[in-house]
Amino acid sequence: MLQYFTTYYQSPVGLLRFRVTEHFLSEVHFVDNDENMVPDDALRGSLPSMAVQAIEQLIQYFHGDRRSFELPVNQEGTDFQQKVWNELMNIPFGKTISYLEMSRRLGDPKVIRAAAAANGKNHVAIIVPCHRVVGSNNDLVGYGGGLWRKKWLLEHEKKIAHGVLTLF
């Protein structure tokens, strides 16, 4: 039986909750409510290296030093959801695609709604970059972490991709 660990990181886009095992990352979730936040490291004394790696890589991302993540990710989902999440990983840093383009990449423009729904079921925010999918007119639509976060992440990536250094 897998043992999961939970910890938190205060990022520039708010508090993030991480759920990991010793071997993979299963969740990066935005925390907006006042949930009972007792990190497992406070209870057990330390976190597995997977949690430390995930937090370190996100810190590098927010500082503009990382454009892709090197973390084993494992989230439960249907075969179709897995296909969508894998396709999200192919969207380059600093770029966006539309939901229609996503469905085309999946091989069938008619699956646009299913692709959007699968995108919304992603449990590994930022690392599996669902924020890089936008509406057909480049509209910011559909982000479980809130549109303000999606806008922030896209602007952050665009600045870094074009060589603009920022402090937050």
Residue with the larger pLDDT of the pair 139 and 56: 56
Q: Is 130 a catalytic residue?
A: yes
Same-domain status, 156 and 107:
yes
Of the candidates 62, 89, 107, which is a domain's last residue?
Answer: 62
> Count of domains in the chain?
2
Alpha-carbon radius of gyration of the chain? 16
Query: In the chain, how long is the greatest CA-to-CA distance?
Result: 50
DSSP per-residue codes, the chain: ----EEEEEEETTEEEEEEE-SS-EEEEEE--S------HHHHHS---HHHHHHHHHHHHHHTT--SS----B-----HHHHHHHHHHTTSPTT--EEHHHHHHHTT-GGGHHHHHHHHHT--BTTTS-GGGEE-TTS-----TT-HHHHHHHHHHHHHHHTT-----
Secondary structure, 3-state, 123-137: CECCCCCHHHEECCC
Say which of 118, 130, 134, 160 is annotated catalytic: 130
Contact between 93 and 64 under an 8 Å Cβ cutoff? The reply is no
Decide if 88 is inside a domain.
yes
Q: What is the mean pLDDT of the chain?
A: 91
Same-domain status, 49 and 86:
no
Same-domain status, 38 and 83:
no
Same-domain status, 18 and 90:
no
Q: How large a percentage of the chain has pLDDT more than 70?
A: 90
- 25 phi, psi to nearest 5 deg: -100, 130
Decide if 73 is inside a domain.
no
Same-domain status, 52 and 102:
no
pLDDT digits (tens, 9 = 90+) for 123-155: 999 999 999 999 988 888 888 899 999 999 999
Of the candidates 14, 35, 62, which is a domain's last residue?
Answer: 62
Decide if 99 is inside a domain.
yes
pLDDT digits (tens, 9 = 90+) for 64-77: 999 999 999 999 99
pLDDT for the residue 43: 47
Q: What average pLDDT score do residues 79-102 get? A: 97
Q: Which domain holds residue 47?
A: 5-62
Contact between 55 and 7 under an 8 Å Cβ cutoff? The reply is yes
Same-domain status, 84 and 142:
yes
pLDDT for the residue 153: 98
Which residues have C-beta within 8 Å of that of residue 92, sequence separation ≥ 6? none
pTM over 0.75: yes
N-terminal to C-terminal alpha carbon distance within the chain:
41
pLDDT at 41 over 60: no
Decide if 144 is inside a domain.
yes
Instruction: Report the C-alpha gap between 105 and 21 in whole angstroms.
Output: 31
- 124 phi, psi to nearest 5 deg: -120, 75
